[in-house]
Chains A and B, each alone.
Chain A
Amino acid sequence: MRIELIRRPERSSAMSLLSPIIAIVLTVITGFFIFLAIGVDPLEALYIYFIEPLTAWWTVEALLIKAAPIILIAIGLSLCYRSNNWNIGAEGQLVAGAIAGSVFPILVPEWNGPLVLPVMLLMGIAGGMLYGAIPALLKIRFGTNEILTSLMLVYVAQLFLDWLARGPWRNPEGYNFPDSREFDGWQVLPVVFGDDVRLNAIFVLIAVAVAWFVLSRTITGFQISVLGQAPRAAAFAGFSQKRMVLMTFLISGGLAGLAGICEVAGPIEMLRTSVSPGYGFTAIIVAFLGRLNPVGILFAGLLLALSYIGGEGIQIVLGVSDQITRVFQGMLLFFVLTCDTFIFYRVRFVSTRRSAAAEATP
């Protein structure tokens, strides 16, 4: 027997929708056998991993809190990736945003009025944009590879933050802990929902809606897609490659910066040596898992947040290492990319013997 992949004349819209669902099912089935192999009850483990986090309000909130920055960043990255600009440095832009947004609450702590939060947010966005502009300008001016420059700038930003938190911006009344002073009053992102879901959840919804509109309805979204798929056709359409490099890096940097300041002004409420457990990198997976589509990214971000929370839960209840989170995330990405093949190809099973006979008598 032989398996053939046959190219479809056009992408299958049914498979575009089905492919992530099949991928999730396959992940769960494989997970079943992995749990079986490491000697825990697979059904119980799967329940704790995927279902239990959704049964209690506080875990749902935890999930939303984790998902918000990831989705926000992934939306920005999806614009970059669609236009063939490989911004891998969202983590660094997040840190830059966190630092820039913290300037006033740390250096001018006595300014505590209704205007301080909007200023912090705007400065966070500006910080991320400026940091994202560096690899963009290098690419435009010198043709450097933005994958390398944006990635390396992550470590620069992280080390700079480390130095700030341990050095000049350390809280003088903080018993030598490497933290800044705590933000308070107007400097903190307000809770809009439940006990802990803050304003950034609203930003996420706005970002998803705006990105969807821009990508599907506007000439800007059209330009992004053309430049990503056929640069030569883009020049023929009169679109500028260089302008788009800068624009997508500014947007994705700005959204990463916004996510950064929202972490600092939100759940953390201070500047620390580390402000993100790698949201900027997880967002890369989410962007692709959501197939660079804003609505897809919304669901993918929630799913990945679930895998974090579920991994923690399973560690607490069953004593399974939380490395299992990475296994599940890896499997999910693997299966999604595999199933994506079926958007452009269909499978045909050919029985070798029978087909040979059939073809001999046409």
Chain B
Amino acid sequence: MGTQPNPAGDDFSKRLEGVATLSAHGITKDFGALRANDSVDFSIMPGEIHALLGENGAGKSTLVKMLYGVLQPTAGEIRWKGKPAVILNPAAARRLGIGMVFQHFSLFDALTVAENIALAIEGAGAMSQLRDRITKVSAEYGLPLNPDSVVADLSVGQRQRVEIVRCLLQEPQLIIMDEPTSVLTPQEADDLFVTLKRLASEGCSVLYISHRLEEVRAICHHATILRHGKVVAECDPKQETAARLASLMVGEEVRQLNPPEPVPDSAPVRIAVHGVSQPRPHPFAVALDNITLEVRGGEIVSIAGVAGNGQDEFFDVLSGEVLAASGTIEIDGNDCRRQGVNARRRLNAAFVPEERLGHGAVPRFKLSQNVVLTRNGTREGLVRTGVVNFLGARSIVGRVTEAFDVRKGTPDPEAAALSGGNLQKFVVGREYDRKPGVFVVSQPTWGVDAGAATTIRQALVDLARAGSAVLVISQDLDEILEISDRIAVISHGKLSTPRDASGITREEIGLLMTGVSDDGQGAAHAH
């Protein structure tokens, strides 16, 4: 075991009583040469909300998948109530009494809540009985659900409730939750915490995976911290500061950003979007509704919002991959609503989409080829009379590598061979290298380790300082509050009026996310 700060704390003495619901002993998991988990020990007591903390890639998901029978450990032992258990598959885990709520929901949009639950439970019994049980359990735990609603009509928070109720119907003694709040508004998250505390008070254990330190400190009784697949510390998160937890996760003091400077009103507007509307391209997309936004040179404007509220659609319209049906989009005064992505790049705009692999980069292409991907139409000499200058592309790879500290095994590897953080640094660096006047980035640090995230955020700040207009679309409130000059919120395809970041609170952003100020409805619909 690792260090144990505050071993004499109240929670700890309480904790040592009784038999652990589940314990792991020397769990190791190898994927080829990569050791994802290295001899992990930890135990979850009855009625405990146990946080599993770690950066992306620390091995949290791998560990949890082994507990739920999705993966098998290479070595080590899992004990269930003190007895060795081999969990061959998720069905076996459910039979033991382990339930799991995944980060990405596994629900059928076209079916009702009751039908979805019936599909997942072995021997669910008669439908009418099941519907009664759903109503009863959901009311009991403060998770109101109508068993006859069609899942497609539910908000993200409500969908998560379906998953939780599905879990609860099987009367589990351990519920595993994988980053449950990453898709929720702050208010929805608070509701969830009430439910979790209620469950714990009844003796059910909760394994809570997250990298959001504040919420872990608020609700968890105990925390196990993973770094590079190893347990580096165990602690009572209530006794620790968020900064200390962060440095345990990262293994070093987290570097602070140099804050941006205030932007004078006289700074020129570099990208102006006026009255852009766009019908939904397919039934599960979001229509854009009369979006207006201006970003001046020198400032960072962020768009917050719960996933699936029109962020992807707005990005596509900004980049020119999709041409907006109405309104105007001006880059440095040039109307480019009817122009494609390369024409906009020639106006010195640059774009980084949310999805790295398959959108921002071709996975099986070398980095140099991926340079050509976004810079083939920018008239900077990479393509002359139809012939590609791969040598020039390789020298750009060298520049980006140096500027952004992209770590890679060979000088010019395939994009898929890079880790998420390094590929993201490359994808951002590839555009940064052009010194764009307008920079639109979606989810700049999604799934990226803290070191890479700081590098990327610093690059955005530097770019703004040099006079560029930076527009960030993100679901990470911490990130938005850290780097933005102004913040707007997108909800149901509508964009709120941007407000100064210094004068807005988390709660206000949360209310805007749910669309309360617009139409008075409480739920943020995903689709």
Binding site for B on A (CB under 8 A): 6-7, 9-11, 217-220, 222, 225-226, 229-230, 232-233, 235-238, 359-360, 362
Contact = CB atoms under 8 A, between A and B. Distances in A.
Interface in B318-361: 319, 321, 340-342, 345, 351, 353, 355, 358-361
B74 interface: yes
Contacts of A218: 386-388
B414 A230 contact: no
Nearest to A232: B359
A238 B362 contact: no
B364 A229 contact: yes
Given A236-B319, A362-B39, A222 B376 contact: yes
Nearest to B359: A232
A230 B369 contact: no
Contact of B417 (A10, A217, A360): A10
Contacts of A217: 387-388
The 5 tightest CB contacts between A and B, nearest first, are A359-B75, A238-B342, A6-B32, A232-B359, A9-B417
Contact of B388 (A219, A230, A232, A359): A219
Interface in B173-214: none
B373 interface: yes
B355 A222 contact: no
Interface in B440-494: none
Given A7-B32, A360-B75, A236 B360 contact: yes
Given A6-B32, A7-B32, A230-B359, A238 B340 contact: yes
A232 B26 CA distance: 43
B388 A222 contact: yes
A236 B427 CA distance: 13
Contacts of B345: 238
B358 A238 contact: no
Given A230-B359, A230-B362, 8 more contacts: A9-B409, A218-B387, A219-B387, A222-B369, A222-B372, A229-B365, A238-B341, A238-B345
Contact of A230 (B26, B321, B341, B358): B358
A359 B383 contact: no
A11 B383 CA distance: 26
B224 to A, nearest CB: 20
A11 B359 contact: no
Nearest to A360: B75
B364 A11 contact: yes
A225 B373 CA distance: 11
Contacts of B373: 226, 233, 236-237
Contacts of A9: 409, 413, 417
Nearest to B351: A236
A359 B73 CA distance: 10
B369 A236 contact: no
B423 to A, nearest CB: 13
A225 B390 CA distance: 15
Contacts of B372: 219, 222
B414 A11 contact: yes
A235 B377 CA distance: 13
11 contacts: A219-B383, A222-B369, A226-B362, A233-B358, A233-B360, A236-B319, A237-B341, A237-B373, A237-B377, A238-B377, A359-B74
A218 B386 CA distance: 5
Majority DSSP secondary structure for residues of A touching B: helix
B424 interface: no
Nearest to B374: A237
B363 interface: yes
Interface string B28-60: 100010000001000000000000000000000
Residue picked from B74, B373, B414, most chain A C-beta under 10 Å: B373
Nearest to A356: B75
A233 B371 CA distance: 12
B414 to A, nearest CB: 5
A219 B374 CA distance: 12
Nearest to B26: A362
Contact of B321 (A6, A225, A229, A235): A235
B75 A236 contact: no
Contact of A362 (B75, B362, B369, B388): B75
Nearest to A346: B32
A229 B409 contact: no
B95 to A, nearest CB: 25
Contacts of B358: 230, 232-233
A236 B374 contact: yes
Contacts of A10: 410, 413-414, 416-417
A213 to B, nearest CB: 9
A233 B359 contact: yes
Given A236-B321, A237-B373, A362 B364 contact: no
A230 B353 CA distance: 14
Interface in B398-454: 409-410, 413-414, 416-417
Interface in B255-298: none
A233 B410 CA distance: 23
A106 B410 CA distance: 61
Contacts of A235: 321, 341
A219 B319 CA distance: 21
A220 B386 contact: yes
Nearest to B372: A222
